[in-house]
Chain A
Amino acid sequence: MFSGKSTMVSAVRKPLLEQLAKAVEDGRSADVVSAIEHGLDVGYSAQELLYEGLIRGMTDIGIKFKNHEVFIPEVLIAARTLKKGQETLRSALIDEGVEPIGKAVVATVSGDLHDIGKNLVSMMLEGVGFRVIDLGVDVTAEAIGEAVKTHKPDVLALSVLLNTTLNQLMTVISYLEENSLRDHVIIMVGGAPVDEKFAQKIGADAYAKDAVSAAETAKKMIGKM
């Protein structure tokens, strides 16, 4: 029965994407690379390998993290694997003309060197399909303003971990206002000393408690969810 062919293909297709997602979740980089290479060879689109494979895996681990089933180490390892997978897919994505869902600039504010939380936020944003421009740590308001001007991101995500650098969030927001850059970007803030109330008080657009919610919120805010 020839009409059964396409059913058979999709039955085979699913397991490969599932395997890919699971390999991201488990942090098995070598398996991710070989699944992608094999997938591309046998006719999968880069887009489905990205969204239904890599990003699904990252989303799954994000959910487990939120439910306290896995912890930061497992999420970091999955994120490292995701990166590896994205690198493997890069040229295929360009060939297919796959566009990210949005652009995000991410930074830890001036005077603050904590980057673990910020990196997780970056990875989770990538994990839901954003293109992320990560400015690193200890980034001044001027440098953030410059990046907003150059990259025109949909979202600006600012991380802060110290009480002594909390006021830098205000500094950045006023700098953007003074330079007429504020209205074009959604500002999200986060980090251990920040809460919803504080975010509102300083005029940020959004706050999220953890990296998974940060990515969900960002997606919602740009109207992609």
Chain B
Amino acid sequence: MKTNIVRKEEYKARLKRVNDAIALKEGAQMPVAPLVNGLPYYLYPELGLSHRSALYDFEKAMEAHIRFHLEFEPDGIVANIMPLCAKAADYLRPTMLDWPGRAGTPLPDDSIYQMFEIEYLKEDEYDELLGDYTGFILRKYLPRSYKSLIGLEQFRIDPTCGIMDLPLSPLANPALRKALQILLDYSKDREQSDARYTALTDRLIQNGFPPMYTAVGQVPFDILSDYFRGTVGTFYDQVERPDKILGACEKFMSVEIDALSAQAGVDADVKRVFFPMHKGMDSFISDAQYRDLYWAPYQKILQYLIGIGVTPIIYTEGPYETRTAFIREKLHEFPPGSCMIHFESGDFAELKKAFKGLACLTGGVSLQMLEFGTREEVVERVKFLAENCAACGGFILDASGAIEKAKRENIEAMFETARSL
């Protein structure tokens, strides 16, 4: 069902501004769309919000994000909040992260949730993962990543006698039953929490803000490093078993394409997939491995998405100077204007030259400047970006990462300067 847009004119104008930038049209007004995480909680202290209350009291968090959009009028929905369901996490007991509000956590209320890295996939288990992907996920990955799902280790079907219910008889196991019950509860809670997130998006759309992205994906190599082997485990594998890495990345690629294929049938004004890229930065990986392990499986995902009319947002993180020429070359395999590309740092005038006529560049204002810099510095920076990046189109003004905290006057300066040019 399509949302009933109340502020249609604003919606259309913003959508056009962003779409023109993506289409690399010259002369269009520079869109401003800085992604924000905890910033609204910080800017509106009167709402009494912290990351903790935002996780557990979604309505209130929604209020803060809507207020931010109405006050600053970004050119799209910039609330970069993940659809987490803390209520369910409390009983799922994930081992890969901690969050404010979790029983016994040392985290203060104003801390964002925090990931840890655990080797859910051991160095000698690659073949098992690839030989029986579903079995590994079910019996090893899930019990290792959620304490409450330990019973899934016992999930087995008995093929020796297929009569009546007998193949299912191993399900008569109390630990397994407990895990299955938890999954049932989760299924319900997840549905409710999805509905709440849809409600937030809908309210923002009604108020005239088109989504900046409609789904999130990850580079297969990052999936391996973030959620299976850990950064350090992956570092070792890069030297000791790179062929295994490639095998896993190709598997994740096909699983991900399958998941993203839902985008094909969606009837929406915006179809963009946001790819935050974690482990490809300059010193992390050699050029050759970046090409073969990091990018090659990713390129296939990009190709698939572009083919079904979706715009990938290539959101690089960390220093990326040594990669620019290579990425440029790879993007030449797609029609101009197929992708958006974000950089955290680097010389934006040079980056603009590199991607001109190829992909819409985003970013430009550092988080450090927004939090610790002066208003004048922000004004200067935005002017620099307007002149050197936006003047010929194909640029969206954004911060170097999602904003947690910033001086109010600096955020005001960012928007005001951009609008005044």
Instruction: Tell me which residues across on chain A come within 8 A of B404, comparing CB atoms.
Output: 163-164
Would you list which residues of chain B between 262 and 284 have a CB under 8 Å from chain A? Answer: 282-284
Name the distance in Å between B243's Cβ and chain A's nearest Cβ: 15
- Stretch among A67-75, A125-133, A152-160 lining the B interface: A67-75
Closest Cβ of chain A to B236, distance in Å, is 7
- In whole angstroms, how far apart are the Cα atoms of A76 and B368 in the complex? 29
Give Cα A73 to B233, complex, Å.
Answer: 9
A65 within 8 A of B: yes
Cβ contact within 8 Å between B283 and A72: yes
Bound-state Cα–Cα, A116 to B117, Å: 12
In the complex, the answer to whether A76 meets B283 with C-beta atoms within 8 Å is no
B239 touches A77 (CB 8 A): yes
Nearest CB on A from B126, distance (A):
17
B284 partner residues in chain A, CB cutoff 8 A: 71-73
Chain A residues near B368 (CB, 8 Å)?
A: 163, 193
CA of A192 to CA of B404, assembled, Å: 17
Q: Are A65 and B283 in contact (CB under 8 A)?
A: yes
Known contacts A65-B283, A163-B368: A77-B236 contact under CB 8 Å: yes
Q: State the majority secondary structure of interface residues on B.
A: helix
**A-side contacts of B111, CB under 8 Å:** 111, 164
Q: How many A-B residue pairs have CB under 8 A?
A: 44
The answer for the CA separation of A76 and B233 in the assembled complex, in Å, is 11
Residues A116 and B286 in contact in the complex (CB < 8 Å), given A68-B322, A164-B404:
no
Q: Does A113 contact B (CB under 8 A)?
A: yes
Per the bound structure, the CA–CA distance linking A76 and B371 in Å amounts to 33
- By the criterion of a CB under 8 Å from any partner CB, how many residues of chain A are at the interface? 18
Residues of B within 8 A of A192 (CB): 318
Chain A residues lying within 8 Å of B405, measured Cβ to Cβ, are 163-164
Q: Is A27 close to B, CB under 8 A? A: yes
Q: Is B58 an interface residue (CB 8 A)?
A: no
Please give me the residue from chain B that is nearest to A138 by CB atom: B106
Name the interface residues of B334-389: CB closer than 8 Å to any CB of A.
Answer: 367-368, 371
* Residue of A whose beta carbon sits closest to that of B290: A71
Chain A nearest CB from B94 CB (Å) reads: 16
A28 CB to closest chain B CB (Å) equals 11
B238 touches A163 (CB 8 A): no
- Contact status of A163 and B371, CB under 8 A, knowing A68-B322, A76-B232, A113-B114: yes
Which residues of A (166-193) have their CB < 8 Å from a CB of B? 192-193
| Bound complex: CA A71 to CA B283 (Å) | 5
Knowing A73-B235, A76-B236 touch, does A163 contact B285 (C-beta < 8 A)? Answer: no
**Is A73's CB under 8 angstroms from B114's CB?**
no
Interface pairs (15), CB distance under 8 Å: A68-B282, A71-B284, A71-B286, A73-B236, A73-B285, A76-B235, A77-B236, A77-B240, A163-B367, A163-B368, A163-B371, A163-B404, A164-B404, A192-B318, A210-B283
Cβ-closest 9 pairs across A and B: A73-B235, A73-B238, A73-B239, A76-B235, A77-B239, A71-B286, A72-B283, A71-B283, A72-B284
Give A residues with C-beta under 8 Å from B. 27, 65, 68, 70-74, 76-77, 111, 113, 116, 163-164, 192-193, 210
